[in-house]
Amino acid sequence: MPAAAADGSDPSPDPALCPCGSGAVLEVCCRPILVGSREAETAEELMRSRFTAFALRDPEHLLASWDPGYRPTRRELSASLDDDLAWRRLAILDTEAGGPGDRTGVVEFVAIARGSQGKMRMHERSRFRRIAEHPGWVYIDGRMLD
Ligand SMILES: [Zn+2]
């Protein structure tokens, strides 16, 4: 029988699929962006790769893709990755600019995590900009919406 959990919990995600929910395999979706072999073409793509980095607890990509003027220290970031949250799902609600020909972009999303306190929902509208050097698109900051 398929694991349509009788206890109502989410079935375990297929580990080969990218955590960002694109439906593509991690190795061709966000992994090349995480390891720096490909740059995100759009702000949304960078947003997806950052969600995947949170899900995989990859501080390197998170720091590298953070606007240097807003980037937390490695210690601050590690503290936020050390919690018990398992990031499960990402839904992109809205985007403004952020395309291959744009200099700035906005991405609004909802991210769902599970932790010892139960389900956590984060709704944020994030600002991005493109810089001349690697990695191109970077995350500036975000405003929590609820
Ligand atoms: Zn992905």
The full set of domains in the chain, from first to last, is: 31-144 (3.10.450.50)
Quote the DSSP letter at residue 140: E
- Note the pLDDT of residue 114: 94
pTM: 0.89
Write phi, then psi, for 119 (nearest 5 degrees). -80, 140
Ligand 1 centre to CA of 68 (Å) is 23
**DSSP string for residues in 107-125:** EEEEEEEEETTEEEEEEEE
Q: What is the C-alpha separation between 114 and 106, in angstroms, rounded?
A: 26
Neighbours of ion ligand 1 (CB under 5 A): 18, 20, 22, 29-30, 48
Cβ contact 105:42 at 8 Å: yes
* For residues 129-136, average pLDDT: 94
12-21, 53-62, 69-78 — which is least confidently predicted? 12-21
Ligand 1 centre to CA of 145 (Å) is 24
Residue 1 clears pLDDT 50, i.e. is over it: no
- Note the pLDDT of residue 13: 66
Give kind and range of the element (H or E) at residue 88. Answer: strand 86-97
- Note the pLDDT of residue 90: 97
Ligand 1 centre to CA of 116 (Å) is 25
Ligand 1 centre to CA of 15 (Å) is 12
